Amino acid sequence: MLKFGCVPPPLLLFVVTEDWYFCSHRLPLARAAKAAGFRVAVATRVQDHRERILAEGFELHEIPALQRGLGGWREPRTLLALIQLYRRLRPAAAVHVALKPVVIAGLAARIAGPPPILNIMTGFGFLFTSRSLKAALLRRPITAVLRAVIDRPGSTTIVQNDEDRELLFQAVPGAVSRSALVRGSGVDCERFTPLPEPAGPFTAAAVCRMLGDKGVRDLVEAGRLLRRRGQACRILLVGPTDPLNPTAIPERELRAWTKEGVVEWLGPREDVKEVWRMAHAAVLPSHREGLPKALIEAAACGRPIIATDTTGCKEVVEHGKNGLLVPLRDPSALADALQALARDPEGRRRMGAAGRLRVEERYAEGVVVSQSLELIERLVG
């Protein structure tokens, strides 16, 4: 707890891509910062959560185009808006969450006169994982900016898994002494509690944005394979479309799959716990993750997990203990794993119990928030 006496509380500024993401992933940290004596402000793209953020007693500042990928034509406008915001607010410290805010807000802060900054890398995203020409052209200048905003006094960078830490060190060698490993954003273990299995046919749910990079098409093809095998398996897709993402799946395609009967697209859901109440298992055949919160919430509810053997996912899943890992882009192996869990209720129970214990030990909200808040307080000094 910071002590200020009669001095006005210092301002802590969160720069986040979208208001819903702030509420779903960073609200507990902002609450803890407020309780520790900070005045909290949030700069983000505002859609549906204005009143919720204001009701917390936080200031809210709308910034254009923060949700878009790097390299868009709106970047100069976003940069200018952030420079003006930093000059006006003069925060005591800032928290930049995800690659684009780390890059754009970090550059804006340097121009305006940087406060201490906590960068939270939630993954290295399309630019660092894609083999496309666009990603290749942008990677070098973005890496140069990352070095400028991360490798400086008064900056600490959080990564969420060991592989991303190695990627960070390759891109920014100076980050070795200016980084910390904090596993995710934390899960409320009192809200997400073990649930009994639902009645009816085996059901697996994928909670994610509807993107090709999340392996959604692989999951659909696995569903078709299971149907040809005669294996009963209901597959739920839960999450929004994201037209601005380069690998977005069009809504018409999602509706066509639902009409085909191979999956059911339910769209976004506010209460994710109710999704896990409907499902026997969680599935996420993603091509790469930072640390997938949906899988951690599923594990907290006692659900076994099927995920790809890739960065982020294998941080959450220990193969054979709390779930099953399958090769990347392999619908047949994915179908085999779904079929194995469908036929093994005792294995599901055992894996679900192990997953819950893993969450309590490594990903509980109190643990993650306290680690992050300690870093902020250390930066502020």
Instruction: Tell me the per-residue pLDDT of 284-310, one tens digit each, with 9 for 90 and over.
Output: 999 989 899 999 999 999 999 999 999
- Exposure string of 64-84, with b = 16+ CB inside 10 Å and e = fewer, is ebbbbbbeeeebeebbebbbe
Distance CA 89, CA 139 (A): 31
Burial class (CB in 10 A: 0-12, 13-18, 19+), 188: middle
User: What letter does residue 7 receive in the DSSP assignment?
Assistant: S
User: Which residues of the chain form CATH 3.40.50.2000?
Assistant: 11-186+364-380, 203-362
CATH class of 11-186+364-380: alpha beta
Assigned superfamily of 203-362: Glycogen Phosphorylase B; (3.40.50.2000)
What confidence tier does 1 reach under pLDDT thresholds 50, 70, 90?
A: low
Of residues 296, 293, 285, 299, the one with CA closest to residue 338? 285
Distance CA 308, CA 187 (A): 21
Q: What pLDDT digit, counting tens, does each position of 328-377 carry?
A: 999 999 999 999 999 999 999 999 999 999 999 999 999 999 999 999 99
Residues 6+ apart with CB under 8 A from 340: 324, 347
- DSSP assignment of 73-103, as one string? TTHHHHHHHHHHHHHHH--SEEEEESHHHHH
More confident residue, 56 or 134: 56
pLDDT at 109 over 80: yes
More confident residue, 156 or 4: 156
What confidence tier does 126 reach under pLDDT thresholds 50, 70, 90?
A: low
- Exposure string of 237-272, with b = 16+ CB inside 10 Å and e = fewer, is bbbebbeebebbbeeebbeebeeeebbebbeeeeeb
